[in-house]
Amino acid sequence: MNEQTTVKIKRRLGMWLLTAVILVPCAYGFGTKFNEFIALYRGDAEGAFAISPILNYLLASFGFLLLFFWAAFKGMFHDIERPKHTMLENEATLNRGVPRHLVDLNTRSSGSRPSKHRLLDPSRMQTGNSHEYN
Amino acid sequence: MIDAPGTGSNAPRHESLVDERIVVAYFMIALGYLALSMLAGLLMALQLVRWNPLNGIELLSPGRWRMIHTNVVAYGFLANAFLGALHWAVPRLMLRPVLNRALSWFILSAWQVVILSTGVGIVLGPTLQAQIPALEKLPFSLGAQGLEWGETPVWIDPLALAGLLLVAVNFMAPIVRASGPMYVTAWYFMAAFVWTFLTYAMGNFLPQYSLTGTSAGAVGGLFIHDLVGLFVTPLGWGLMYYFVPILLGKPMWSHGLSLVGFWGLAFFYPLNGIHHFLYTPIPMFLQYGAIVATIAVEMVVATVLVNFFATIWGSGRAVVTNLPIRWFYTGMVFYGITCLQCAMQTTLTFQALIHFSDWVVGHAHLVMFGVFSMWLLGIMIYLLPRIWRTEWYSRTLSEWHYWLSAVGLFVMASDLTLAGVFQGYYWASLLPWDDSVEGSQPFWILRVFAGLAMMAGQGCFFYNIYKTWRKRPFNDAAAEPPTLATGTKSAPSPRASI
């Protein structure tokens, strides 16, 4: 077994350990409270009103859980930092042809020296994956 | 997001994506409502210091003004300003226009009908119904609905909901058509369109038609909190994630962390609302659930704030030189404070002291003005001169606008927070109620002056807007390089049509 495999196994073990440390108490807490909820529902007809906020929450959360899985399987979280660069590149494209002084209206104050950071300026943007905008 | 509809010479142009006229129209309408809301707030503040200039006029009673104050700021100012900003941000972010420009203008008109009808309903509804026999027979009230933040009369609720559906359809079209990993702003916007619709339906219909008693109260609690957390918050943060990197000229510190913030909000926020009803007959496990969910949201908030402050790290001078950035980051500092307050408020010990007191009023002002209004005003400060192709008429007025708003709000929120603690101890000591009212007077007087300062700040802004609009050039070609907000006046030039 080479060193790389050992590191990989150690990492995986660490991840599962951490997962267990987080999930087991959470599952215990949730289970206990859910039991309490069922007991309340069975024992007290008036207490059944608690269902409405719980259902509201479960419905909303279930929808977002599905969305989360859909996003994960669609690869939305691969190269997770890429969208922040794409957004700025798109802005630069849209600013193309707009006179610089119209894009840069708010970046200096009276009598002060120019800010180091300016609005996105297409002429200064490098293309490709360099992710440099200034 | 990744896959743009065109690149190079085929790349979409700003003019084909953004209808600048509707952005300006939304902003101007929003500012009109802001002025009305602040006037209503001032009247309420004067009532509390026993100097109500409208005393004895039933239709202009303080109870009505209070509802006008809260409804107009939420649905008149914030909603309109958000819609204006979305008409700029969504098409540019997704590189696709909204579904239909005509629909956008229809929504603008319809939403104003909803707001004005709400105002008329609150002020005139019960009186009209009592005096006109035909209206008296209606099976529902024409006046305010008995739901905090949801006083919109019941007959307007279906119209408002239809409006929210149209908003969602109009803005979701460019978002769902995009493929590839989405930027965090798109996630926030997409969620906001769904959440706002569901929250409005839940809060306005369930307690009105199907739930009663404590159950209706629990859902009402979810509604008032979700209105902040699932309507205003995702739109606000979505816009910050969009405008801050653009203005700083560099990307967010961590996009992964920003997604943690988004999904954390999605899963932890919806159960928070019941923390408004601690010590009520709502089962304790639901109250504890709300407290735990609130603490979880505080952790999510910490990730968001860390991300934004890490982004500006090394560019701190932008807070001084760049006005919109200053508004944005001031709002974020207030956001941190308000979330800290929130963590304290949801502890049972603390809640026993401050419930029903002015602490809550101070907290609400800190959130609504200190955070979201500040962000939206910052966005207007960035976009209006850009749309009008000229710099602000006066940098000095812009500075006054900022300082009067920020300091006024800080004084008001601190004052009311302290007043709340005093009131809590008055009540806990079992002194007569009147003693707590007398003890609150100094705080309420200071609140009037803080409010006047904030109003003066907006006065500077309105005048600056008017003068800037007057000096806008006729077209792009005529736009001369401005003096970059030096506060000096430019020579008058022909006007554009916006």
Name the residue of chain A whose CA is nearest to B378's CA: A106
pLDDT of residue B403: 98
A45 near B CB under 8 A? no
pLDDT of residue B21: 96
Domain ranges across chain A: 3-73, 82-124
More confident: A19 or B367: B367
pLDDT of residue A104: 62
More confident: A61 or B406: B406
Full 3-state SS string of chain B: CCCCCCCHHHCCCHHHHCCHHHHHHHHHHHHHHHHHHHHHHHHHHHHHCCCCCCCCCHHHCHHHHHHHHHHHHHHHHHHHHHHHHHHHHHHHHHCCCCCCHHHHHHHHHHHHHHHHHHHHHHHHHHHHHHHCHHHHCCCCCCCCCCCCCCCCCCCCHHHHHHHHHHHHHHHHHHHHHCCCCCCHHHHHHHHHHHHHHHHHHHHHHHHHHHCCHHHHHHHHHHHHHHHHHHHHHHHHHHHHHHHHHHHHCCCCCCHHHHHHHHHHHHHHHHHHHHHHHCCCCCCHHHHHHHHHHHHHHHHHHHHHHHHHHHHHCCCCCHHHHCHHHHHHHHHHHHHHHHHHHHHHHCCHHHHHHHCCCHHHHHHHHHHHHHHHHHHHHHHHHHHHHHHHCCCCCCHHHHHHHHHHHHHHHHHHHHHHHHHHHHHHHHHHCCCCHHHHHHHHHHHHHHHHHHHHHHHHHHHHHHHHHHHHHHCCCCCCCCCCCCCCCCCCCCCCCCCCCC
Average pLDDT per 10 consecutive residues for chain B, totaling 498 residues: 54 90 98 97 94 88 90 95 97 95 96 92 84 81 82 89 94 89 94 90 86 80 84 95 95 94 87 82 80 87 95 93 96 95 88 92 96 97 94 94 98 97 96 94 97 98 96 63 38 40
CA distance A60 to chain B (A): 8
Using 50, 70 and 90 to split pLDDT, how confident is the model at A105?
low
ipTM summary value: 0.86
pLDDT of residue B84: 98
Name the residue of chain A whose CA is nearest to B230's CA: A60
Question: In the predicted model, is pLDDT for residue A133 greater than 70?
Answer: no
CA distance B249 to chain A (A): 5
pLDDT of residue B217: 81
Kindly list the residues from chain B whose CB atom is less than 8 angstroms away from the CB atom of residue A106. Answer: 247, 322-325, 381-382, 385, 485
Kindly list the residues from chain A whose CB atom is less than 8 angstroms away from the CB atom of residue B385. Answer: 105-106
More confident: A78 or B69: B69
pLDDT of residue B8: 55
Instruction: Give per-residue pLDDT as tens, A81-98.
Output: 999 999 999 999 998 877
pLDDT of residue A12: 85
Domain ranges across chain B: 17-180, 316-476
pLDDT of residue A53: 67
CA distance A19 to chain B (A): 17
pLDDT of residue B401: 97
pLDDT of residue A1: 65
What whole-number percentage of chain A has pLDDT above 70? 62
CA distance A18 to chain B (A): 18
Contact B267 A37 (CB under 8 A): no
Contact A56 B381 (CB under 8 A): no
